[in-house]
Structure 1
Amino acid sequence: MKLRGSVAALMALAVASSPAFAKAPAPGAEGIPRFSHVVVLVLENESATNTWGPASVAHYLNSLVPRGVFASQYFATGHASLDNYIAMVSGQADQPLTASDCLPVNLWVCVQPQSLMSNGRNLADQLEAKGITWKGYMDGLPSPCFHADYSPTALPPDPYQGDSQKPPAKDYADRHNPFIYFKDTIENDARCRAHVRPFTDMASDIARNALPAFSFITPDSCHDGHDDPCSNGQKGGLVSADKWLSQNLPSLIDYLWAHHGLLLITSDESGPSDLAGCCSGGPLGLLPGFGGRVGLLALSPMLTGGRTVATQYDHMSLLRTIEDS
């Protein structure tokens, strides 16, 4: 799954020359620092201008920019949620079901096509093959590996897609949890329960010095900025996302700073009117074109903060960067 357009330039050009770097793990492929931990955090449905621009309401998030490296020309690969999440963890292009968030079908039907593309191989398989630890931390997930009924006869649509009135997962969205869309995870309950975890587990993992080498974080559909207003009536969008980030990122960032880690923050797609794209992606989504410009912030003590890189990248580039790190 080595794909063109890695964010290697962003990492290689921004490597810190501080004494801390000399003590860090050796560089990986293409000059990318060998980070001890890589964490990806995905927000929802906001353009780069709205999220990172001077008028952004995400004040906490933007306060982190001087500490990191900002990829201003980073693009989503499609215009639904699921196709972008699948691209981030497998490199698979969109197909008609994922490009429509699988809204007309049940979870079982949605999962099947992934096994036909690259034999269903994904980032989790690559990591485990090399003995590298990983977890997906899903905000709002009521229990490990929770998901909609995975059965050919389950009635569509998937009832757990955020802002659901069906307990126990009111704001958790299956389509923001890419790992369950691969048969070798969702059909292996022990594997799924070990790796697809409630976000609340992260605090205890940090406290126990047990954060895995790779983590994928998805806030729930209120906390990721998707819903506005949120299901409880409170202000949503970037306001709720920024509040959640301000409450949950400081301890994670402190941990990554102490352990030569890397945090990558981006959005799954831009707003519906933004059809821009680069590098890869496709026109099969709910809207024509690509997924729009969303931007990406890389935070690590091994990078020189306060820099902006204008080279074009997208979610496929993100995957390769993770593979090479």
Structure 2
Amino acid sequence: MCSRTPVLLAAVLLLGLASAKTSRNLAEPGPSPQVSGGTASHIQTVFLIVMAKHNWSSIKGNTNAPYINGTLLPIASHAESYYNRLRIHPDLPNYVYLEAGRSLGIVTNDPPSINHQNVTSHLVRRLADAGISWKVYEESIGGDVCPLTDSLPYVVAHNPFVYFDDMTGSLDPNSDDCIAHIRPFTELALDLQQGTVARYNFIVPNRCNDMATSCDGRNQIRKGDTWLSQNVPVILNSAAYQSGGALFITWDQAEIGDGPIGMIVLSPFARGNGYQNSTYYHHGAMLRTVEEIFGLIPPLTQDIAHDADLSKMFAVFP
């Protein structure tokens, strides 16, 4: 009996270590997984998270952003010179630029009833026409209607897709296409778990979590950083990410001037390990990168055709 005690103790210790390791993996992301045999040879799935209204100088090195600075940047690639498009403000035209490669003359945050566009030349229309799935995850929407108006903390100006008539059936709150593609953020985790996530996923926190404001008096950067710490690991631990995913985290616009603003890239194919560069980028680079990943050639507009893409962030692209 005594001779078996050390063996039993060793087994218990090994089980404890394995359990602790599993818990850490679920709680926080590890280094970007390496692509190996049996996995995708290029990027298959894109996740884009858009935070709000901060210059990169207010995020990088800020003690109120411990997750970004302490966990993400050491394993990610990031840009030091990524800007919102020159003199494009406020929020909405920047979101529209990410979708259409131009701001379409929009200069306000007015709702779709005022700023809607009868334009079919935009990213998700091209994806749909090419048979590539896409979905939008907006925090704090109900999912039973097309969200065409503010319902705080949901802000419609942070949802560019509902400004395109072909996405909403010309402002129809009961548009089947809109309701099917623009879903509550709470559904993302289940879609990842069930393996039903789309190939292009546009993710927007509500106004209390996107760093624009905290809604409760707490530091807005800290609150947004906490939101990322709770939700980014869900993506990084998913099969969709680990078998050919790329996660981009950016900000809609600068608070002062045009930037720089943040652009963080995580992927099994990214250079990662803290890689950074000072290449000049703006939102056209993000759009062009998505188009190249999914083989949508030529680019939507001549404007972004001459812009740098984000390929330098990757060891393998697309």
TM-score by length of 2: 0.75
- Identify the structure with the greater helix proportion: 2
Cα gap change, 1:265/1:19 in structure 2, threshold over 3 Å: closer, same or farther?
closer
Q: Count residues in correspondence.
A: 254
Tell me the CA shift for residue 295 of structure 1. Answer: 2.2
User: 2:120, 2:248 → 1: CA distance?
Assistant: 25
Deviation per residue, 1:250-281 (Å, 9 max, x gap): 1111115422200000100111xx32xxxxxx
Instruction: Judge conservation of contact 2:34–2:268 (CA < 8 Å) in 1.
Output: no
User: Does structure 1 retain, via aligned residues, the 8 Å contact 2:82–2:263?
Assistant: yes
Structure 1 pair 24–312 and aligned structure 2 pair: CA distance change class (3 A)? farther
Shift in CA distance, 56/320, structure 1 to aligned 2, threshold 3 Å: farther
1:321: how far off? 0.2
- Cα distance, 1:309 vs. partner? 1.5
1:1-16 correspondence runs (5 A):
none
**Aligned residue for 1:128?**
128
Map of 1:240 onto structure 2: 223
Secondary structure in 2 matching 1:263: strand
Residues in 2 aligned to 1:147 and 1:19: alpha-carbon distance in whole angstroms: 39
1:58 maps to which of 57, 60, 65:
65
Instruction: Tell me if structure 2 keeps the 8 A contact 1:49–1:56.
Output: no
Match of residue 109 from structure 1: 114
Instruction: State the AA in 1 paired with 2:218.
Output: K
CA contact 1:144–1:198 (8 Å) conserved in 2: no
Distance 1:139 1:260 in 2: 25
Do the aligned residues in 2 keep the contact of 1:139 with 1:199 (CA within 8 Å)?
A: yes
Structure 2 unaligned residues grouped into runs of 5+? 1-32, 294-318
Checking the alignment, whether the CA contact within 8 Å between 1:57 and 1:239 is kept in structure 2 is: yes
Paired with 1:80 and 1:144, the residues of 2 have a C-alpha distance of 28
- Which of residues 151, 156, 167 is equivalent to 1:185? 167
2:140 matched residue in structure 1: 140
Residue type matched to 2:253 in 1?
E
Tell me, what secondary structure is at the counterpart of 1:64? helix
Q: Is the 8 A contact 1:75 1:315 kept in 2?
A: yes
Q: CA deviation at 1:308?
A: 0.3
**1:120 aligns to what SS in structure 2?**
coil
Query: For residues 150-169 of structure 1, what are the structure 2 equivalents within 5 Å?
Result: 160=150, 169=151
The equivalences for 1:67-106 within 5 A come to 67-77=75-85, 78-93=88-103, 95=105, 98-102=106-110, 106=111
Distance in 2 of aligned mates of 1:195 and 1:144: 12
Q: Which is greater in Rg?
A: 2
- Superposed CA RMSD in Å reads 2.1
Contact 1:139/1:219 (<8 A) preserved: yes
Q: Where does residue 287 of structure 1 map in the other structure?
A: none
- Aligned pair partner of 2:245 in 258, 261, 264: 261
Does the 8 Å CA contact 1:88/1:318 hold for their aligned counterparts? yes
State the 1:300 CA deviation.
Answer: 0.4
Aligned match for 1:319, one of 287, 296, 314: 287
Within 5 Å, which residues of 2 pair with 1:303-314? 303-305=270-272, 306-314=274-282
Q: Show the counterpart of 1:6.
A: none
CA–CA separation in structure 2 for the residues paired with 1:312 and 1:257: 27
2:113 partner amino acid? W
Q: Is the 8 A contact 2:136 2:183 kept in 1?
A: yes
CA–CA separation in structure 2 for the residues paired with 1:267 and 1:297: 10
Structure 1 segments unaligned to the other structure (5+ residues)? 1-17, 27-33, 149-157, 161-168, 276-290
Offset of residue 122 of structure 1: 1.1
Match of 1:238, SS state, is: helix
Asked if 1 retains the 8 angstrom alpha-carbon contact of 2:47 and 2:247, the reply is: yes
- Residue 174 of structure 1 aligns with which residue? 156
1:219-230 mapped onto 2 (5 Å cutoff)? 219-228=205-214, 230=215
Identify the match of residue 44 of structure 2 among 36, 43, 47: 36
Output one character per residue of 1:291-320: Cα deviation in whole Å (capped at 9) or x when no partner: 321020000011121200210111011100
